[in-house]
Structure 1
């Protein structure tokens, strides 16, 4: 049952792996994230796959009665096993269109562990934030320190003069799904 005080208009875009990774904590964080979104009445916006962490987030949101908005490009439909039983299912022609549709339909961005695709998605929304195209919060769920090297790269970019110190303020690192829940509650209060 959705949280009674939740604003049903809130949507959270989750970028994450199409694989589960090597640690059980990654899958657990994906499951907890999907459940948290549903319990608060926040719509999940994600890549529409039914594999890896993506599939786990969506299944957990659905099991908890949440709304799901999936976006998948035609060329990944078979590879990521497009999940057709979502509340909203959108098929795009390109990866760029996928990211744009996901971004345009959310109020906040969450990045769980993932690979090159998740990094691409993260850096695109981070760049858009840096150049002033949006002010949506970007949360890195740093499960067991997974994103520590990425956070170090951001610090290195700033230290070497390739970005202003404000770059670090555009992402909020949280250690787990419970901390993410608190951060989202504060964001949407």
Structure 2
């Protein structure tokens, strides 16, 4: 399976989130899955790259030119896909992934989550997003989505396409070990 991961490219965040990224990427590599991600050498993105390679896994990096020009691209990418912009990056990440996992992240990660979710509601794809809600990171987003659902402004049930897991083990046992993913 090709697993897309959205996450922070910041270094100054909770160390537990780096351990979470390591655990996820190590599981992916040990189980023959491919990481599809933004290919940056900062923050959780860098941790994912290091950990998937340490576990002898493969990675597909979708890297905007501005990241490459700034010297912020991860250096050990198996399949390097350059792109022009963040919009292109989102489209390519979605196209190359069977499922998406959102680790802790900021505005860029939120943008990625909602782009994928909105495209799902319109019918462009049937792919799911898993919010990896370690330490309750996504609790406020989940509350907001529940509130929007109760107000009738979300098409369908958001929990049908945005799934929540509180740990890597929970994500693996509840979602990643199934055959429900679009190919």
Q: Which residue of 2 aligns with 1:144?
A: 135
Q: Which residue of 2 aligns with 1:185?
A: 177
Q: Which residue of 2 aligns with 1:76?
A: 67
State the 4+ residue runs in structure 1 displaced beyond 4 angstroms. Answer: none
TM-score, reference length from structure 1: 0.90
8 A Cα contact 1:154 1:168, kept in partner: no
- Which of 20, 23, 46 lines up with 1:29 in the alignment? 20
Question: After superposition, what is the alpha-carbon deviation per residue over 1:46-71, rounded to whole angstroms, capped at 9, x for unaligned?
Answer: 00001100110111000000010001
8 A Cα contact 1:15 1:46, kept in partner: yes
Q: Which residue of 2 aligns with 1:175?
A: 166
1:81-96 alignment runs, 5 A limit: 81-96=72-87
C-alpha separation between the residues in 1 aligned to 2:70 and 2:19?
A: 23
Task: Give 1:19 shift.
Answer: 1.1
Q: Which residue of 2 aligns with 1:67?
A: 58
Q: Which residue of 1 aligns with 2:106?
A: 115
1:50 aligns with 2:41: yes
Q: What SS does the corresponding residue of 1:59 show, helix, strand or coil?
A: helix
Segments of 5+ residues of structure 1 without an aligned counterpart are 1-9
What's the C-alpha RMSD, in Å, of the aligned pairs? 1.6
Task: Give 1:77 shift.
Answer: 2.4
Segments of 5+ residues of structure 2 without an aligned counterpart are none
Task: Give 1:11 shift.
Answer: 0.2
Q: Which residue of 2 aligns with 1:101?
A: 92
8 A Cα contact 1:72 1:98, kept in partner: yes
